[in-house]
Amino acid sequence: MGTTLLRKAMSEFYFRFGALQDSVTEPGIHFRQAFVTTTKSVLIRPEELRMPAVEVVTKDGIEIRFNKIGVLSRTQKDKVIPMMKKFGGDFKKVLIYDRIKEDLRIFCASKTIDEVYNEQFPQIVDAVKSDVEAQIKRLGENGVEILNLVIPKPDIPQDIAQNYKQVKVQWTEQLVAKQQKVTEEIKKKLELLKAVADAERQKEVLEITILQKSLKAKVKGTSPR
């Protein structure tokens, strides 16, 4: 007779003579018949895993690598036995991790390096996650759930990375130059407005001076002799 100590957030499934049984045990101490009954423990609470590097090829033939892909997932206890019967004990690998790898390869195969690394990179997580969830629903009856998916920017060849760095520097320089041009134009407009305002003020002063002289002349011309 053998014993098993099952920790919290774990469920245990039994194999008798290699055949998966329909019973499931909860956390605690359990007894089983040695050499006849084997067990498989499954984590039910959310589990975070960092996937191995995924290598893909873009539409234009550039080999890139996605490192440190993070997956937070959760298993539905009542769906474990059907999934184990269909996919084996490593059902998460089949339903989640292998699907993520395949979807990344499909996504990148239809995109150029610039689209993957730059233009459409923000769309990768949603595209991959949506497709994997659809396959989990179809194949695994929603027995596992992806709570969060993190896909960092891929590692790209050094020469291409250097080009992107130069482009970013040039873009920054262009942005600064554009801002300087806008600032200069604003400065010129302000100077023009100031010059117009000064001219208007001088004109008004001149008109007032002429009016004063005219009034003085009239007063002088009408005074008794």
pLDDT in tens, the chain (225 residues): 444 444 444 555 545 545 554 555 555 444 455 544 555 566 777 889 999 999 999 998 989 999 999 999 998 888 888 888 888 878 889 999 999 999 999 999 999 988 998 889 999 999 999 999 999 999 988 999 999 999 999 998 888 777 776 666 565 666 667 777 788 888 888 888 888 888 888 888 888 888 777 777 776 666 555
**Would you call 109 helix, strand, or coil by DSSP?**
helix
Look at residue 83 in the predicted model and tell me its pLDDT: 84
SS3 state at 162:
helix
**Nearest CA-CA partner of 56 in 106, 128, 123:** 106
CB atoms within 10 A of CB 14: 19
Give pLDDT, residue 13.
Answer: 55
Query: Do the bridges between strand 144-150 and strand 70-75 make them parallel or antiparallel, or are there none, so unpaired?
Result: antiparallel
What type of residue is 173?
E
Quote the CA–CA distance of 140 and 94 in Å, as a whole number. Answer: 10
Assign residue 11 a region (left: φ > 0; alpha: ψ between -120 and 50; beta: otherwise): beta
Q: Report residue 120: phi and psi, to 5°.
A: -110, 10
For residues 192 and 57, give the distance between their C-alpha atoms in angstroms, rounded to a whole number.
58
pLDDT of residue 7: 47
Sequence letter at residue 131: D
Say what the pLDDT of residue 198 is.
Answer: 84
Are the C-beta atoms of 84 and 12 separated by less than 8 Å? no
Measured over the CA atoms of residue 57, residue 61, residue 63 and residue 66, the dihedral's sign is negative
Residue 3 is predicted with a pLDDT of: 46
**What is the model's pLDDT at position 68?**
95
Amino acid identity, position 205: V
Task: Note the pTM of the prediction, 2 decimals.
Answer: 0.61
